Amino acid sequence: MTDQLKKYLFQDQSARVQAVKLASTWQTGLAHQHYPACIQRLLGELTAAAVLLSSNIKFDGSLVLQLQGDGPVALVVVECTAELTIRATAKLREGAEVPEDGTLQSLLNSNGLGRFMVVLDPNREVTDMQPYQGIVPMEGETVAEVLEVYMRNSEQLETRLWLAADAHQCAGVLLQRLPRKGGVQEPSEDRESAWDRALAMTATIQDSELLELDSDTLMRRLFWEESLVAFDPQEVRWWCPCTRERVANMLRMLGEDEVNEILTERDHIDVSCNFCGKPYRFDAVDAAGLFIEKRNAPPSSEDSVH
């Protein structure tokens, strides 16, 4: 089943709700990255949050959620593009012990020096806009709590998040209160009542429901008394720009002598993507092929002797 983001609007337009569930996408992302369960859960929750938040931004570029830690985890980065392609990674501090029950605070802010940043990175091919960076206060025990504070302060929109992740999938629900629009509106007490009712219903979500139920089933279970307008689902995919050719170009930049020197010490060269961890292996035959084209190319004018 395709991993999807689904959006719903309450019929009275008082609130919107979004749900995302990633299984194959999440497993692709973890295929070459092996973390303790608590870090896996943290990274999955941040990934689901990035998809939910990115889908609300009318922006041609990427939303990046970045945590710089002062505890066992040095760095967590999740990137979600406008096309809902994602990639995510975490870097552990060398030699640090990761507690089994690690939380956002104990893993990344144990000394109060952790930093949480939201970055909007524009598509440089279509605009000369500069990236925007916002600092997120590390207030809260979970990713959801920290981002709720940020949304309330930066967007002035009351937003609630429910996030869950394990080794097999990550999922989340976003509930957001919508501002009044011009024209005739229902009495404010009706909108207040509608929001309180939606919040009370959504607050009953269990992690098991997020991970086990598809979005439509979850919405029906939560809002069986409400009328929701459902929009077309949007596909979410894992994507990392690393390729074997890019790694080959990096080896070419090292130079033939240095590559051959490495191969005298071992049978092959192993290179892993710094972001997704995907491994690339080059043996002696592969390495020789990197430089054949250069040796066979005709001399350029700069190489000619005058």
- DSSP states along 32-80: T----HHHHHHHHHHHHHHHHHHTT---SEEEEEEEE-SSSEEEEEEEE
* Identity of the highest mean pLDDT range in 46-60, 113-127, 290-304: 46-60
Across the range 221-249, mean pLDDT stands at 91
In a domain, 302, yes or no: no
Indicate whether 256 and 107 sit together in one domain. no
Indicate whether 222 and 252 sit together in one domain. no
Mean residue pLDDT of the chain comes to: 87
Across the range 281-297, mean pLDDT stands at 77
Which of 238, 253, 277 is the endpoint of a domain? 238
Q: What is the reported pLDDT for 13? A: 86
Indicate whether 33 and 80 sit together in one domain. yes
Cβ-proximal residues to 294 (8 Å cutoff; 6+ apart), any chain: 252
In a domain, 228, yes or no: yes
Across the range 98-120, mean pLDDT stands at 92
In a domain, 306, yes or no: no
Indicate whether 139 and 218 sit together in one domain. yes
Across the range 15-27, mean pLDDT stands at 95
Across the range 21-35, mean pLDDT stands at 94
Confidence of residue 121 (pLDDT cuts 50, 70, 90): confident
Indicate whether 168 and 249 sit together in one domain. no
Is the pLDDT at 305 greater than 80? The verdict is no
Query: What angle is formed at CA 193 by the lines to CA 189 and CA 197, rounded to 5 degrees?
Result: 175
In a domain, 305, yes or no: no
Indicate whether 124 and 150 sit together in one domain. yes
- Based on the structure, what is the number of domains in the chain? 2
Indicate whether 215 and 259 sit together in one domain. no
Indicate whether 210 and 289 sit together in one domain. no
Q: What is the reported pLDDT for 126? A: 66
Which of 190, 215, 238 is the endpoint of a domain? 238
Q: Which of 246, 205, 243 is nearest to 222 (CA)?
A: 205
How do residues 133-189 score in pLDDT, each as one tens digit?
888 889 889 999 999 988 888 777 889 999 999 999 999 999 999 887 654 455 566
Domain that holds residue 168: 4-238
For 192, phi and psi rounded to 5 degrees? -65, -45
Q: What is the pTM of this model?
A: 0.86
CATH of the domain at 44: 3.55.30.10
Indicate whether 70 and 171 sit together in one domain. yes
Distance (Å, whole) CA 44 – CA 26: 8
Q: What is the reported pLDDT for 306? A: 36
In a domain, 304, yes or no: no
Across the range 293-305, mean pLDDT stands at 49
Judge contact between 57 and 63, C-beta under 8 A: yes
CATH of the domain at 259: 3.90.1280.10
In a domain, 70, yes or no: yes
Distance (Å, whole) CA 148 – CA 134: 14
Indicate whether 118 and 188 sit together in one domain. yes
